[in-house]
Amino acid sequence: MAVTLADVAARAGVSAATVSRVLSGNYPVAGATRSRVLRAVEELEYVVNGPASSLAAATSDLVGVLVNDIADPFFGIMASAVQSEMEPEKAGGKLAVVCNTGGSPERELTYLTLLQRQRAAAVVLTGSAVEDPAHTEALSTRLRRLAAAGTRVVLCGRPPLPEADGDSGRDGEKDAVDGGAPLTVAFDNRGGARRLTGHLLALGHRRIGYVAGPAERTTTRHRLEGHRAALADHDRALLAEAERLTVHGAYDRSSGYDGTLELLRREPGLTAVLAANDTVALGVCAALREAGLSIPGDVSVAGFDDLPFSADASPALTTVRIPLHDAGARAGRLALGRESAPPGGVATVRTELMVRASTAAPRANQPAAQAG
């Protein structure tokens, strides 16, 4: 039915092998022959059969990119960056397969299987990992098998996998074969959160609410840890309050809204609210406004990530910038083997505090004499 290599070969008066060599370009072919073949390809509108060539060559040009939520710019930016590294011009037409896990661990595993089935050349897992031990175990297993099957695995925006316990001795040999643990591009969420809370503390805030992400995510935990570390640094007494002033929710707008209402209920004297990310911060602002509170007059608000809309929010959002594009691009290059692995296999990208209009000193700037 469709035009095949053989058809092209016949038309060009050469063997199929020659056509294959011309097309893959990694083998010397006489100039005249080559152009004859190319012409035949044109005339017949020949398009390589990917599955057939993947089968024969035992490789594929698919690269999987797993994201929690493709409609969220946080992931969109990373996915776009990963893909930008495999543009046809740059990397011989690799195809990025963006898979939307919706944050579900099962779907994550399912997609990984699907990708393994496609014999993907590489897989990039973006965003926070779910910290359930059973899932971590299952995930490690899957990734190990993928790696063993020759698929490059890269983590972007999540910490390296925990070490598999107890068999490091045996692994020595295997590592040499499959390249060992997945390469990682991690974000300094902890440091960013710490600086952000430090900024609020320096402004004089003491009653700081925190609308955190889902409890079992690495990103959530790291940001929360950074927040509390800053609190502890400043005054250990603040730490006692921290628990009460923290609520958890999804990484979306409505969690910010609902969470803020809850926080206000628990502590009407709140002078600042920290959000799990910028999207959540939008919800926080909405709830605050509806409660008749001005930002930052009555309450300061800050987000995390510095998504494009954050600078344009009104007031412009104080947040922590993560170089998502750079990180994604780097992950893409690692996935294609176009960049050498960082020392230890883990590259941590810096985060940067972006102070904007949504944070200011609390109205009655009393130096927390009572609490301290």
Q: Tell me the window of 28-36, 106-114, 233-241, 264-272 that interacts with a second copy (CB under 8 A).
A: 106-114
CB of 354 closer than 8 Å to CB of 313: no
Cα dihedral 234/237/239/244 (nearest 10)? -140
Residue identified by tokens 């009407």 is 268
Q: Using CB under 8 A, pick the residue from 107, 135, 174, 195 that binds a second copy.
A: 107
Site for DNA in 58-117 (CB under 7 A): 58
How many residues sit close enough to DNA to count as binding (CB under 7 A)? 30
Tokens encoding 276: 């799990």
Site for a second copy in 298-317 (CB under 8 A): 308-309, 312-314
Look at residues 250, 354, 330, 278 and name the one whose alpha carbon lies nearest to residue 74. 278
Asked whether position 105 contacts a second copy by CB under 8 A, the answer is no
Look at residues 185, 164, 162 and name the one whose alpha carbon lies nearest to residue 346. 185
In angstroms, the CA 104 to CA 65 distance is 15
Picked from a second copy, DNA, none, the partner binding residue 27 (CB below 5 to 8 A depending on kind) is DNA
Q: CB nearer to DNA: give 33 or 254.
A: 33
Please, which residues have CB within 8 angstroms of residue 299's CB and are 6 or more apart in sequence? 270, 271, 272, 273, 288, 293
Do β-strands 208-212 and 246-248 pair in parallel, antiparallel, or remain unpaired?
Answer: parallel
Q: Tell me the window of 49-57, 159-167, 225-233, 321-329 that interacts with DNA (CB under 7 A).
A: 49-57
Q: CB nearer to DNA: give 30 or 215.
A: 30
Q: In terms of C-beta density within 10 A (0-12 exposed, 13-18 middle, 19 or more buried), how is residue 177 classed?
A: exposed
Q: CB nearer to DNA: give 24 or 104.
A: 24
One-letter amino acid of 250: A
Q: Using CB under 7 A, pick the residue from 10, 38, 44, 49 that binds DNA.
A: 49
Q: CB nearer to a second copy: give 27 or 309.
A: 309
CB 27, min distance to a second copy, A: 20
Residue 361, Cβ neighbours under 10 Å: how many? 14
Q: CB nearer to a second copy: give 154 or 238.
A: 154
Asked whether position 297 contacts a second copy by CB under 8 A, the answer is no
Asked whether position 148 contacts DNA by CB under 7 A, the answer is no
List interacting residues with DNA (CB under 7 A).
Answer: 1-2, 4-6, 13-18, 20-21, 23-24, 27-30, 32-34, 48-49, 52-53, 55-58
